[in-house]
């Protein structure tokens, strides 16, 4: 009987259910369900509609049973930093506020009262990003102390869905590191830091490594779906899963996980929490097998996704790339400028940036896309310079994985700006990494190294 593993990979702009199996020595994928995702304004705050997302999770699982392809296990991965607080009956306390919401404005100053930025980076290896969980929790502490008083657990988004599927509240390591509350050396919650911040330590449940069995489906879900299966923790942070699927088996591999965000960096075995690393804004996020993702967060395709939503809805990304290719505009923006994080209008944000920096202001969809794609590629080139200076290593090639690897125009700009060879794919890296964790757990694949060999022969 063919064994299937189900990856439920939920990104900030879309989610997908992918069945993975090994057939004739190769990993085979079958996307069985896909849905749109975005933050929505609820009571004035940008939030995730957790009920709607869970509805999609179940609908995609139901599709597996309709197809007669019952997975032996299922794992959910999502974007990082966001969380849900639950009380001791499992009820959600407040909304699942998303990372682009402004509730964290000024929270860095509050956190600074308890710990200096230098010590915070030294302990956690995570640089300041205003959306990090630490600042979000500080906003909850200040505006909704009652939620923290009633909270029984703080569950990161994928942990919350694993909880809804099984009734077991557990925390996974890779996504926990995105909170900026995990100690980079002990790889555990930094309870001393948590106490200094005045957060209740009991809501931070023991951290488990990817591959841990969470539970089986709740009885009522088994009835609803018509099957039961194991729920296994993948590397629950989508970026951690994506990096598992980098098709390289050598050290010193440079990658960009390209999607709503562009995450550019390398895999290392020890964190770098030096002052230079902090100054350059590199993050040491926890990875599979206790590795670290030494990366820089770059605003990514979010900018073009937003412009498309605003003025280019009738066009595909491919068509938009073709338009951009023909433009001659040379204006560039700093993709990591905070004005692009959650503007009311991305079109206006890009135009204003160009106007304020005395550059040609893009007017058409093609011009706007040209500015964004060129700026991203330039940002990649600057980031390579930083990584090479920090690691003392030269990188000849760049693996681009994730949905953004299909943007061939961006790939060619990346080659132009970086003078490095781009190796695109696999596009479904996150789902593949999610599936690899399940396959390794069930012993169908012996190790991550072997898993990456499978990825190389199956997808490139």
Q: Name the residues that contact ligand LFR, by CB under 6 A.
A: 11-12, 79-81, 99, 237-239, 259-261, 263, 297
Residue number with CB closer to ligand LFR (238 or 267): 238
Hey, is 271 helix, strand or coil? coil
Instruction: Kindly provide the b/e burial profile for residues 422-436, where b requires at least 16 CB atoms within 10 angstroms of the residue's own CB.
Output: bbbbbbbbbbbbbbb
- Count the neighbouring beta carbons within 10 Å of the beta carbon of residue 421: 10
HSE, side-chain direction, 13 A CA sphere, residue 161: 30
- Count the neighbouring beta carbons within 10 Å of the beta carbon of residue 327: 18
Residue number with CB closer to ligand LFR (133 or 273): 133
Task: For strands 230-232 and 213-216, give the pairing.
Answer: antiparallel
DSSP tag of 78: E
Q: At closest approach, how far in Å is the CB of 260 from ligand LFR?
A: 6
CB 84 within 8 A of CB 134: no
What's the rounded Cα separation, in Å, for the pair 392 and 457? 31
Residue number with CB closer to ligand LFR (21 or 236): 236
Q: At closest approach, how far in Å is the CB of 217 from ligand LFR?
A: 26
Q: At closest approach, how far in Å is the CB of 156 from ligand LFR?
A: 10
Q: At closest approach, how far in Å is the CB of 324 from ligand LFR?
A: 23
| Token pair recorded at residue 6 | 């189900």
Q: At closest approach, how far in Å is the CB of 56 from ligand LFR?
A: 17
Residue number with CB closer to ligand LFR (17 or 351): 17
Cβ neighbourhood burial of 85 (10 Å; 0-12, 13-18, 19+)? buried
What's the rounded Cα separation, in Å, for the pair 348 and 352? 6
What's the rounded Cα separation, in Å, for the pair 167 and 18? 23
Cβ neighbourhood burial of 23 (10 Å; 0-12, 13-18, 19+)? exposed
Q: At closest approach, how far in Å is the CB of 361 from ligand LFR?
A: 29
Q: At closest approach, how far in Å is the CB of 430 from ligand LFR?
A: 8
Residue number with CB closer to ligand LFR (177 or 414): 177
Hey, is 296 helix, strand or coil? strand
Nearest to 395 by CA among 206, 246, 179, 288: 246
What's the rounded Cα separation, in Å, for the pair 249 and 236? 22
Q: At closest approach, how far in Å is the CB of 279 from ligand LFR?
A: 19
Query: Catalytic positions, please?
Result: 238
What's the rounded Cα separation, in Å, for the pair 257 and 242? 7
What's the rounded Cα separation, in Å, for the pair 313 and 294? 35
Nearest to 5 by CA among 428, 433, 438: 438
DSSP tag of 270: S
Q: At closest approach, how far in Å is the CB of 136 from ligand LFR?
A: 11
Q: What phi-psi label fits residue 327: left (phi over 0), alpha (psi between -120 and 50 degrees) or beta?
A: beta
* DSSP bridge partners of 97: 47
HSE, side-chain direction, 13 A CA sphere, residue 367: 14
| Token pair recorded at residue 10 | 């939920």
């Amino acid at each position: 009987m063919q064994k299937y593993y189900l990856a439920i990979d939920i990104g900030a702009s879309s989610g997908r259910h992918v069945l993975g199996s090994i057939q004739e020595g190769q990993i085979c994928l079958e996307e069985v369900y896909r849905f749109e995702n975005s933050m929505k304004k609820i009571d004035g705050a940008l939030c995730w509609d957790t009920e709607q997302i869970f509805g999609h999770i179940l609908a995609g699982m139901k599709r597996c049973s309709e197809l007669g392809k019952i997975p032996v296990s299922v794992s959910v991965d999502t974007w990082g930093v966001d969380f849900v607080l639950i009380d001791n009956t499992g009820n959600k306390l407040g909304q699942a506020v998303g990372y682009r919401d402004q509730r964290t404005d000024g929270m860095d100053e509050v956190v600074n009262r308890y710990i200096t930025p230098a010590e915070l980076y030294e302990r956690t290896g995570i640089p300041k990003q205003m959306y990090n969980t630490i600042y979000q929790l500080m906003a909850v502490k200040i505006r909704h102390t009652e939620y923290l008083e009633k909270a029984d657990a703080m569950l990161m988004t994928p942990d919350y869905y694993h909880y809804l599927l099984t009734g077991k509240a557990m925390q996974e390591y890779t996504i926990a590191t995105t909170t900026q509350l995990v100690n980079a050396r002990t790889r555990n919650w930094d309870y001393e830091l948590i106490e200094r911040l005045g957060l209740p330590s009991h809501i931070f449940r023991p951290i488990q490594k990817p591959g841990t069995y969470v539970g089986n489906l709740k009885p009522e879900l088994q009835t609803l779906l018509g099957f039961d299966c194991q729920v296994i923790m993948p590397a629950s942070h989508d970026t951690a899963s994506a990096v598992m699927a980098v098709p390289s088996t050598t050290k010193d591999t440079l990658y960009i996980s390209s999607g709503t965000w562009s995450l550019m960096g390398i895999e290392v075995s020890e964190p770098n929490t030096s002052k230079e690393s902090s100054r350059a804004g590199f993050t040491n996020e926890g990875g599979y097998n206790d590795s670290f993702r030494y990366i820089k967060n770059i605003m990514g395709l979010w900018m073009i996704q937003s412009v498309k939503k605003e003025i280019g809805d009738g066009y595909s990304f491919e068509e938009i790339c073709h338009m951009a290719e023909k433009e001659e505009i040379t204006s560039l923006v700093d993709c990591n400028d905070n004005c692009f994080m959650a503007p009311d209008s991305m079109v206006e944000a890009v135009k204003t940036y160009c106007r304020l920096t005395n550059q040609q202001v893009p007017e058409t969809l093609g011009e706007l896309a040209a500015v964004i794609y060129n700026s991203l590629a330039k940002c990649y080139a600057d980031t390579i310079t930083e990584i090479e200076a920090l690691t003392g290593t030269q990188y000849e090639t760049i693996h681009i994985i994730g949905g953004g690897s299909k943007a061939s125009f961006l790939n060619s700009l990346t080659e132009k700006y970086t003078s490095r060879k781009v190796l695109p794919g696999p596009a479904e890296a996150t789902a593949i990494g999610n599936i690899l964790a399940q396959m390794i757990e069930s012993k169908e694949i012996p190790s991550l190294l072997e898993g990456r060999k499978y990825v190389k022969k199956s997808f490139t």
